Amino acid sequence: MPEGTPRDYVFHPTRHSMYRTSERSIPDDEVEEVVKNGAVVHANQRGVHGGWKRLYRRFVAGRVVVVVAEIRKNDCWVITTYAEEG
């Protein structure tokens, strides 16, 4: 995929990620923005769905948002999300 091209995924939030995004006031559209356009910081573990766990990071809405997700083909299971402090 050429650099700068957004990744196109079908998103599957986990129960844990839905709880965390609500608790941390991070909207779903920000989570999707980070995964589609953010930098992949770390990717070396297998996930429970047979994909690879990846950590995405991007500056969105005045803060750095981090998303941990499992990717398999065009499916993305969001594991957790948080905003970096400071």
How do residues 15-45 score in pLDDT, each as one tens digit?
999 999 999 999 999 999 999 999 998 878 9
pTM (predicted TM-score): 0.87
Cα 10 vs. chain centroid, distance in angstroms? 12
How do residues 43-82 score in pLDDT, each as one tens digit?
789 999 999 999 999 999 999 999 999 999 999 999 999 9
Smallest Cα–Cα separation from 34: which of 7, 72, 15?
7
Handedness of CA 20, 57, 9, 31 (dihedral sign): positive
At residue 4, the 3 state secondary structure works out as coil
**Domains of the chain, first to last:** 10-83 (3.30.2310.40)
Based on the number of CB atoms within 10 Å of its own CB, is 58 exposed (0-12), middle (13-18) or buried (19 or more)?
Answer: middle
At residue 21, the 3 state secondary structure works out as helix
